[in-house]
Amino acid sequence: MSIFSMKQSDTRIKPPLIRCRWKGWLLPGFMLVWLLTSCDSPVAPTVDGQQTDGVLISAGPFIMGSDKVDTTDKQKEYGLVKPLFLDEHPAHEVVLPAYYIDPYEVTNARYKAFVRATGHGEPFNWTQNGYNLIEARLRASDLKTLRWIATEYFQFDIDTRRAGKAKLLQLMRADRAQKDRLPVTDVSWFDASAYCQWAGKRLPSEAEWEKAARGTDGREFPWGNDWDTGKTNVGDDADWENGIAPVGSYPKNKSPYGVYDMAGNVWEWTADWYKPYPGSDYTSKDFGETHKVIRGGGGGVGHYSLSFFFRSAMRGNAPPDTLSGDVGFRCAWDAPTNSK
């Protein structure tokens, strides 16, 4: 499956040296540009706690892929062009050294630290939902401007014409705090790689991602073999904006190693190109060095087919410059050689 949204060029692989950001549209008096511009001082390329809060995935073998066959013509039922299961063939043993992986998808808050430290471009959706607005500048804005911002960016379910400045600031602060915990999306493979490099990490390989999700017993989903809509975000909870939940909102959506949200919420970039497994006789026009593997399933796949897309062995793919509202990532890094 390929996911297509907006695309960008590869020029964002390397963060610009200039630390100032200019985003958005002009309000009367150039107010919005002022609200969205910041020239933060550079900080060290670390993210608090990340280097020590990873989950250790022990060295050793696991079964990657599957030998499943679409015996009930689910491909036709789901209306998919790509045959089901065939790019997962054959199930095969892979031996990996020990490594660490983030327990959760990288959040907006983590990614914001990277953006402000390096000047790297912001995700497009931040310019649409008010997340990139600066608190101090909002506090200094007049009531008319705040009411306009509340209507155009935050779309609060209140009559903003009657709301005072204190109330609007409180609502904006709470909204942005909630978005802090959402997985960052609208990031390309290049953006994700740049973040991981800045944090002293890397994107997980496809094999590393799958082992962290399903363990060594070949299970279908991180929690076991039975599909259970109560254990993951299936996109029908009205509390979640755009169907995406804050990381860790589903404690039962946990792999045998204790890695969360690997079935659903958002797809995740991996390091690898989309290629056939050793011994596979399946061919695809997307194989080669044009599409990167994405894993885990996201909200845009169709509610009726979630049990297929959320499987730990399922392989998605997308061009590396893809920007999508349901594609994010997590990082991995090598464990010391004496780790087991």
Distance CA 125, CA 199 (A): 22
**Better pLDDT: 144 or 19:** 144
Task: Report the alpha-carbon distance of residue 174 to residue 183 in Å, rounded.
Answer: 17
The more confident residue out of 195 and 166 is 195
* Side chain identity, residue 304: Y
Tell me the whole-structure pTM to 2 decimals.
0.82
Cα angle 135, 142, 24 (rounded to 5 degrees) comes to: 60
Q: How far apart are CA 250 and CA 261, in angstroms?
A: 7
Per-residue pLDDT at 20: 32
- Mean pLDDT of the region 93-115: 97
Kindly provide the residue ranges of all beta strands, DSSP E only, lying in 215-300, ordered along the sequence: 267-273, 292-295
Q: Is the distance from CB of 87 to CB of 284 less than 8 angstroms?
A: yes
Cα gap 289→269, rounded to integer Å: 15
Q: Which residue has the higher pLDDT, 307 or 20?
A: 307
According to the model, what pLDDT value does residue 35 have? 56
The span from the CA of 44 to the CA of 49, in Å, is 13
pLDDT by residue (tens digit) across 287-332? 999 999 999 998 766 666 788 999 999 999 999 999 999 999 999 9
33-60, pLDDT tens digit by residue? 445 544 333 333 333 333 448 999 999 9
Q: What is the pLDDT of residue 140?
A: 79
**The Cα angle at residue 181 between residues 179 and 186, in degrees rounded to 5:** 65
Domain assignments of the chain as residue spans, ordered by start: 19-45+121-180, 55-109+183-334
Is it the case that residue 151 has pLDDT exceeding 60? yes
Mean pLDDT on 155-174? 80
The β-bridge partners of 101 are 55, 332
Average pLDDT over residues 272-287: 96
Distance of CA 245 to the CA centre of its chain: 11
Give just the sign of the alpha carbon dihedral 82, 84, 89, 91.
Answer: positive
What's domain 55-109+183-334's architecture?
A: Alpha-Beta Complex (3.90)
Report the SS3 class of residue 235.
Answer: coil
Contact 274, 291 (CB under 8 A): yes
Rounded-to-integer distance, Cα 239 and Cα 249, Å? 11
d(CA 33, CA 77): 49
